[in-house]
Amino acid sequence: MPVLESAGNYVDWGVFHISVTNLVIIGVMIVVFVLAILLPFPKPHEVRESEERRP
């Protein structure tokens, strides 16, 4: 009989029961959300040119 693979790793915290994979995905999503707010958005070409021309 084949040996079944492990059902994965889980984090238990009170009533919370979540797989490590899902927890990592949620963490990555929060990081992406924060980066989307903090990282500067590239300016259009014409805006950059006009800013460079300005003294």
Q: What is the identity of the amino acid at 49?
A: E
DSSP element (H, E) containing 31: helix 20-38
Check residue 1 for interaction with other proteins (CB under 8 A). no
Q: How far is the CB of 53 from other proteins (least distance, A)?
A: 19
Tokens of residue 2, six digits = 């084949």
Q: How far apart are the C-alpha atoms of 16 and 18, rounded to whole Å?
A: 6
Q: Which of residues 22-51 bind other proteins (CB under 8 A)?
A: 25, 29, 32-33, 35-37, 39, 41, 43
What does the binding site for other proteins look like in residue numbers (CB under 8 A)? 25, 29, 32-33, 35-37, 39, 41, 43
